[in-house]
Structure 1
Amino acid sequence: MKSMTGYGYKEKSDERMSLSVELKSYNNRFLEIFVNLPPYLSPLEPRLREYVSSRCERGKVELSLRAKELSAAVSVSIDEGTAVAYLAAIRKLSAALGLDEPVRLSTILSLDGVLQAEKSRDPERYWSAVEPVLADAFGQFESARVREGAATEKDILAHLATLRGCVEEVSLHAPEMEAAIKDNIRVRFREVLGDAVDEARVLTETAVLLVKYSVSEELSRLRSHLVEFESETGRNSAPGKKLDFLCQEINREVNTIGSKSPVLEVSRAVIRMKDALENIREQLRNVE
């Protein structure tokens, strides 16, 4: 079990480049990835997204990449057409003003657009520098998620044990619930018919109500859901969605038991189950 909350940071510098990678994540129903990087590294964005999406299943993940080139191959080109146009314009102006001065090369070169410098932007070269830094940052990020996830799992399993204890408590009171139903029927018949109570009719009505108000099926389904819940936490590295669904099913059975119970102890056990279940659901909001 992993938390959806994590943080990782790594920086590295060499003679060519200074790099830093920061990863942050928060809880979210689905996977959302936000990438912040310099414009000239934008060709790497698809790879960065794929790197994160292949390792995270849910959560809002923010990846920030900062880079500063310390040395890079630069190619310089001359725009001869622009230089010739500048020269012609300068000579024309000199003639118009009656000046006779030589046009220096340094003057032409200093004019805008004559010299054009361009750095070599090779995505593969950048990726080879970024990937190891990203891997180290993600290692820290993943360790934080696993560490917090282990603490969350421990807390969830403690509440799950509370649920199990309450299920067994309700099971112990099931015969008491049936006896209360029988007594209630007999009291109502006596209120209407007095002592002329038809025992067969009482038994028939009791059987009908026991079918309607018995909680044996709910208890059976609850036990099954709790077993499945614990198994899912052990076998699935990202069980959040499945566990949330199981919580809904458990809540449905608990509510049904509460609505059927005329026994005070069962009602109290239902309240404890709802409290434990609410705590579990609160924790699951941050489970991947």
Structure 2
Amino acid sequence: MPVYSMTGYASAQQSPGAGATGSEAKAGAASRLGLEIRSVNSRFLDLSFRLSEDLRQHEPVLREMLTAKLKRGKVEVRAGIETPGSDTLREPNPRTLQRLNALQDTVRSWLPEAASLSVADVIRLGSGEQASETDWTETVNALAARTLKELLAAREREGARLATMLLGHLQQLRALAQQALPLVPQLVEQQRARFLERWKEAMALGTGAAAAAAAGSVPTEAAQDRALTEATSFAIRIDVAEELTRLGSHIDEIERLIKKGGEVGKRLDFLIQELHREANTMGSKSAALELTRISVDMKVLIEQMREQVQNIE
């Protein structure tokens, strides 16, 4: 199953004559339905419709079609009927003007305070006196199905690109983890040796009678055991092997989800947070400059992944 992005765009136009016959095709031949769907990322499925007045009644059907195919994303649907020549002003004929004037007189006889018709009102009402009686139901359904299919294809292409990028970042994270893995025992041993060396130096400073008496009261073996215990405790605090193990486990799970596909966006977002937690802990426990650099490089990659994962459905 592919990985789908929540980002996509599709648009299409169709005349009712495509699939209509007889008087219906003739009536709608001059008009054309335009539909566009655009979507961006969102935590949930958020639908908004911007439909012309002639198409308001089709919103429930469009909503049902979208919810059946989309699970997440902020989706905006725009639809309108385009009529050739609608961008030019048509001069109302005298009969239309006469009717508008008569209607105005009738209204003002009942409502004397009503405002008079403006020139813009007359042009708008006169141009739209012949309302379209075309039944757009079949056209809307067919066009919506086609546009939705194109939107899903666009989201799939974007999702494939995101999946490829994420898998590449996972390979880089694995390489960084492999660089850090051999450093762990080396750092632990170095810290233990350094701790013991400092302990011996401190013991050597205790010269004189008081130091001799104090040394006599604590056996050399006991002092060495205590130093070894302190060194081991410190080594455990700087050991990042556990963080590397969990980080590797999260990387494997993310790769599995990407290859599985489907609705994996929320799970990937959670795992990215866990990756960042492990990389951050590793950096805070780091006792070497090289391990700190690896931690910083990991966090840069993880942040890039987090931004892209938020676009996955």
Measured against the shorter chain, the TM-score band is: 0.7 to 0.9
Between the aligned residues of both structures, percent identity stands at 35
Cα pair distance change 1:245/1:213, threshold 3 Å:
same
Aligned partners of 1:4 and 1:266: how far apart in 2? 36
Corresponding residue of 1:45: 59
Counterpart AA for 2:48 = F
Corresponding residue of 1:218: 243
Retained in 2: the 8 A contact 1:176–1:263? no
1:66 aligns with 2:76: no
Greater shift, 27-36 or 182-191, is seen at 182-191
SS at match of 1:130: helix
Corresponding residue of 2:33: 19
SS at match of 2:5: coil
* Offset at residue 134 of structure 1 (A): 0.8
SS at match of 1:24: strand
Corresponding residue of 2:8: 6
RMSD: 2.6
Corresponding residue to 1:127 among 128, 137, 146: 137
Corresponding residue to 2:232 among 197, 202, 207: 207
Corresponding residue of 1:232: 257
Aligned partners of 1:205 and 1:127: how far apart in 2? 80
- For residues 95-141 of structure 1, the C-alpha deviation after alignment (integer angstroms, 9 at most, x for no partner) is xxxxxxxxxxxxxxxxxxxxxx99879xxx64332111111111221
Taking structure 1 as the reference length, the TM-score comes to 0.76
Taking structure 2 as the reference length, the TM-score comes to 0.70
Cα pair distance change 1:187/1:8, threshold 3 Å:
same
* Offset at residue 69 of structure 1 (A): 9.0
1:181 aligns with 2:191: yes
* Offset at residue 193 of structure 1 (A): 2.5
Retained in 2: the 8 A contact 1:213–1:260? yes
Corresponding residue of 2:171: 161
Counterpart AA for 2:68 = S
Counterpart AA for 1:41 = L
Aligned partners of 2:13 and 2:186: how far apart in 1? 67
Aligned partners of 1:12 and 1:41: how far apart in 2? 14
Retained in 2: the 8 A contact 1:27–1:59? yes
- For residues 20-68 of structure 1, the C-alpha deviation after alignment (integer angstroms, 9 at most, x for no partner) is 2111112223221111112243232122122112222222111112136
SS at match of 1:190: helix
Aligned partners of 1:191 and 1:31: how far apart in 2? 67
What is the number of residues matched between the two proteins?
241
Alignment of 1:108-119 (within 5 A): none
Aligned partners of 1:58 and 1:262: how far apart in 2? 43
- Gap runs ≥5 in structure 2: 18-24, 85-129, 206-214
Aligned partners of 2:204 and 2:55: how far apart in 1? 91
- Gap runs ≥5 in structure 1: 71-116
Aligned partners of 2:198 and 2:192: how far apart in 1? 10
Retained in 1: the 8 A contact 2:6–2:73? yes
Give the structure with the higher percent strand: 1
Cα pair distance change 1:4/1:201, threshold 3 Å:
same
